[in-house]
A and B are shown apart, each in its own frame.
Chain A
């Protein structure tokens, strides 16, 4: 039953639902995330994007439905199997979640110390490669998280998320709180990562420009359901009123004309 090959979806959700007490946050979600794609999850504030991310990263158990990660039933895994699945993905948390008492390089090296038998020197060297891949300089590795600017913190957190070359990378609002130039550079970084390490990337974002530049496919959440899913071009052309409202506001249109080169 445990099929895990190049063709099967990395994540398969069927009838996924989450409720907190009487409050229904997500209901009856069906979706697949295919190997190697960049899927963006979008939706207004409070539409359950981050909650959904917590479900598919196994940080929280859904109240209904089934979830398969890499072809395995994620809800039936024991502790050891769950750890093995977790090792295959990396997460960028919204606020970075860097460990404050460790330097940037030590932060990136943490997963390597935990999950490999490499010697000290090799771990430092590999962590430095990730550091540079995320667009930081080797000397930045000596800094502590409290000494970093917002953009650098995101980059350092990305570097930690890709420390073990994950097959699946979750990015929770990678460009939020960044200036336009840093946000653009981070989009660039995501594309570069995809080209070099070829992970499947799940992106939660509000950033219209990111959606146009980075996402292969977009899933719009609203009213606890998936309102629409498709490429940006498809969604932008959609006649559905809720979808139109989201993608064709002034910001959406500006991002679209920027991306498609129209005036």
Chain B
């Protein structure tokens, strides 16, 4: 029973964190039309920075090297990680969001991802190179004496609460005037600009917000697994998030949940149990990526709006029942007679 529960909690944490990545990408791409081709790098930066803030100094002579090691309490470390991810988004935005075609931003995100992957891997003194960080202290581990399962359940609840909060906030942005302008930017940036709105600022807001969302996911990931190395954030993982968003439904946060569930949980977990072929240890992951790549291409071809398309937004409407008056007469009476639908 404990084994099953432990498995379920792990899957749930996995599900919620991927959901948070997908929400972040939805704010960037689904709302605002920003092509971020290195989603997973923001997860890594968020996770790494939170970890080195929470970890004590690397013991001398251990062959382990990393920066900072401030031994800070987790809430502060987590905040640091999220802000670092946001800062990376801000820097990329400064380079590529100023009135350039969307191709350029895509190129810069991809280039940044490749660059940081190499820098972090080869630069052994930053986050311990290819070996990666491990033995990251778990948040609230000293809070009380936990059983392993008890801690897993506690962590799952924390993750769930954070996810629900972020989901509600993403919805609130969507429905707000800001979200409306973001969607207009997605549909035609030049027109929004001509209407007197600073589209750079709007896109930058979405870029940084989305990056911070992904950063939250990264912090949760490293806090739960207590380790992270470059092998854990290869380019392929970015596609998993893209596939989840595109399958679920761009611009629709509910779709993002369904997509995350289908791609990151059902598909990922199902392929994990395929029999390994000893001569080809990489065959299964490769086939998995072939299918993810196909999912991205096919969903764009057949159903670019996803399984759950963006919902149509209607506003306050004149009550339909009252046919005795024309719309002009209704309007003459002002909005007092106009109800919300």
Q: Do A and B bind each other?
A: no
Q: Which residues of A contact B (CB under 8 A)?
A: none
Chain B residues within 8 Å of A, Cβ to Cβ: none
